[in-house]
A and B are shown apart, each in its own frame.
Chain A
Amino acid sequence: MNIDSIRTGIVIDHITAGRAMRLYDLLDLSSLDVSVAIIQNAVSHKMGRKDIIKIDADIPVNFDVIGYVDPTATVNIIRDGTVVDKRVIGMPEILRNVIRCKNPRCITSTEQELDHVFRLSDRKHEIYRCIYCETKAN
Chain B
Amino acid sequence: MRSVIDILDLSVSELDTLIATAEDIIAHPADYAEKCHGKKLATLFFEPSTRTRMSFEAAMYELGGNVLSMTDAASSSASKGESVADTAKVISCYADIIAMRHPKEGAALVAANNASIPVINAGDGGHCHPTQTLADLLTIWREKKRFSRLTVGLCGDLKFGRTVHSLINALSRYEDMRFVLISPTELKLPSYVKEESLKAKNIPYRQTTSLEEAMPELDVLYMTRVQKERFFNEEDYLRLKDSYILDPAKMTLGRDDLIVMHPLPRVNEISVAVDKDPRACYFKQVLNGKYMRMALILKLLEEAAS
Contact = CB atoms under 8 A, between A and B. Distances in A.
B3 to A, nearest CB: 14
Interface string A47-80: 0000000000000000000000000000000000
B192 to A, nearest CB: 7
A130 B106 contact: yes
Interface residue SS majority, chain B: mixed
Contacts of B107: 107, 132
Contacts of A132: 105-107, 109-110
Interface string B246-272: 000000000000000000000000000
B203 interface: no
Contact of A114 (B102, B103, B110): B110
B279 interface: no
A31 interface: no
Identify the interface centre among A107, A121, A122, A135: most chain B CB within 10 Å of its CB.
Answer: A107
A103 B192 CA distance: 15
A137 to B, nearest CB: 12
Interface string B106-132: 110110000000000000111100000
A107 B104 contact: yes
B126 A122 contact: no
A110 B83 CA distance: 9
Contacts of B125: 105, 133
B129 to A, nearest CB: 14
B126 A107 contact: no
B196 A107 contact: no
Given A133-B127, A134-B127, A107 B192 contact: no
Interface residues of A, number: 20
B104 A134 contact: no
Main secondary structure of the interface of A (DSSP, over half): loop
A111 B106 CA distance: 11
Interface in A105-127: 105-111, 113-114, 121-122
B195 A111 contact: no
A9 to B, nearest CB: 38
A136 interface: yes
Nearest to B85: A111
B192 A134 contact: yes
Contacts of B83: 111, 113
Contact of B106 (A106, A113, A121): A106
Contacts of B104: 105-107, 109-110
Interface string B74-106: 000000000111000000000000000011111
Contact of B102 (A107, A109, A113): A107
Contacts of A111: 83-85, 110
Interface of B: 83-85, 102-107, 109-110, 124-127, 192, 195-196
Given A107-B105, A136-B192, 15 more contacts: A105-B103, A105-B126, A107-B84, A107-B106, A107-B107, A107-B124, A111-B85, A111-B110, A121-B196, A122-B195, A130-B106, A131-B106, A132-B105, A132-B109, A135-B105
Interface of A: 103, 105-111, 113-114, 121-122, 129-136
Name the 5 nearest CB pairs between A and B, nearest first: A132-B106, A133-B105, A107-B106, A107-B104, A107-B107
17 contacts: A105-B104, A105-B125, A106-B104, A106-B105, A107-B84, A107-B104, A107-B107, A111-B83, A111-B84, A114-B85, A114-B110, A121-B192, A122-B195, A122-B196, A131-B109, A132-B105, A136-B192
